[in-house]
Amino acid sequence: MTDHTSPVVLITGASSGIGRATTELFAAQGWRVAATMRNLSQGADLAGLPNVEVLPLDVTDASSVRAAVAETLDQFGRIDALVNNAGYGLFGPFETASDEQISRQFATNVDGIFAVTRAVLPAMRSQGSGTIINVASLGGLIALPLFSLYNATKFAVVGFTEALSYELAPLGIKAKYIAPGGVATDFAGRSMVQTFDGVENAYGDTLSKVVSAMTGVRTDYSSPESIAEVIFSSATDGTGQVMYLAGQDADQAYALQRSLSEAEKLEMVRQRSGL
Ligand SMILES: NC(=O)c1ccc[n+]([C@@H]2O[C@H](COP(=O)([O-])OP(=O)(O)OC[C@H]3O[C@@H](n4cnc5c(N)ncnc54)[C@H](OP(=O)(O)O)[C@@H]3O)[C@@H](O)[C@H]2O)c1
């Protein structure tokens, strides 16, 4: 049962995948949810859920960030958790990425998190409580060939969140990150942008090997709902835990990496990537 004392979460990128599943789970658990997205037409069904407010927010647009946070505080009076989920992947050789592609990747996956977090912090500070949850990736802990720019953004999110957790703790605010492995969402489709037009360049051989390794049959993708469960636990478990691996593949790969020497790890990644 939701009422005006129920906790409040603001979620970015709620239109699909992990953000949508997280919206549905928090709402089902009785939270009041500001489900934010770039295109409101993708949230018509979410707007029908009790205590879900669908609001416009493009994480690369400072004025829309400010307006969405102000509207959430106006509607609900507080923000107990922020889920910085919006993001997408850039795939392909670093050298062939355009300046615009590089800027947009960082503007969305990194600067976007900075902007929404800074907009929410004053309210959390005055409450003396709150949890910032950043959706990073296993790609923020283990780098893969041809994901240099995406990896750079997610390693940034991991370092940022861990550092932030120390300075926010004395204010009663927690900072946490989620590191999902592969998740069955639109991520590998419409949320994956390529830095190359074809394979007719110096990286062609690497590209075709990695692409064919990636298109091999994988059966261990997590559902967005199971990642939402991890996000919900991170908001409610009351612990100071900062890193939350999400998905069996993430658990296994991270444990394996930690058990290997650097040379063994590099060889493992090369082999799994078809190189
Ligand atoms: N799927 C995976 O395997 C996987 C693994 C690890 C981490 N992740 C991370 O999980 C997060 C969610 O991805 P997903 O898998 O759920 O993919 P998804 O279904 O494609 O969702 C991506 C979401 O980000 C939103 N978005 C992109 N740019 C935005 C912007 N400038 N402002 C606001 N929203 C923006 C998209 O909105 P639109 O609908 O407007 O495009 C969409 O709602 C991402 O940060 C991703 O890096 C995914």
Residue-wise pLDDT tens digits, 102-111: 999 999 999 9
Kindly tell me if the per-residue pLDDT of 81 is higher than 90: yes
More confident residue, 220 or 185: 185
Ligand 1 midpoint to CA 138 (Å): 15
Q: Which of 88, 150, 166, 254 is catalytic?
A: 150
* Any ligand 1 atom below 6 A from CB of 135: yes
Q: Which domains does the chain have, with CATH numbers?
A: 8-203+219-250 (3.40.50.720)
Known active-site residue 177:
no
Enumerate the β-bridge partners of residue 106. Answer: none
Nearest CA to ligand 1 atom 2: 183
* Any ligand 1 atom below 6 A from CB of 31: no
* Strands (DSSP E) found in 2-78: 8-11, 32-37, 52-56
Residue 265 Cα distances to 83, 177, 213, 258, 269, angstroms:
31, 23, 17, 9, 6
Ligand 1 midpoint to CA 146 (Å): 19
pLDDT digits (tens, 9 = 90+) for 232-272: 999 999 999 999 999 999 999 999 999 999 999 999 999 99
The amino acid at residue 230 is V
Contact 165, 175 (CB under 8 A): yes
Closest CA to 97 of 142, 152, 148: 148
- H or E segment and range at residue 22: helix 17-28
Closest approach atom of ligand 1 to CA 59:
32
pLDDT digits (tens, 9 = 90+) for 120-150: 999 999 999 999 999 999 999 999 999 999 9
**Residue showing tokens 């780098």:** 143
Contact 253, 181 (CB under 8 A): yes
**Cα distance between residue 197 and residue 191, in whole Å:** 17
**pLDDT score at 106:** 98
| Mean pLDDT over each residue of the chain, to the nearest integer | 96
Kindly tell me if the per-residue pLDDT of 217 is higher than 80: no
Reading the block at residue 186, the tokens are 């639109």
Enumerate the β-bridge partners of residue 36. Answer: 55
**pLDDT score at 209:** 94
**Taking the CA of residue 36 as centre, how many other CA atoms within 13 Å lie in the half-sphere pointing to its CB?**
25
3-state SS, residue 86: coil
**Cα distance between residue 33 and residue 49, in whole Å:** 10
Give 106-112 contacts, CB < 8 A, sequence gap 24+.
106/149, 106/152, 106/153, 106/156, 107/60, 108/59, 108/60, 109/150, 109/153, 109/154, 109/156, 109/157, 110/153, 110/156, 110/157, 110/160, 111/59, 111/60, 112/12, 112/59, 112/60, 112/84, 112/86, 112/87
Ligand 1 midpoint to CA 49 (Å): 21
Nearest CA to ligand 1 atom 17: 187
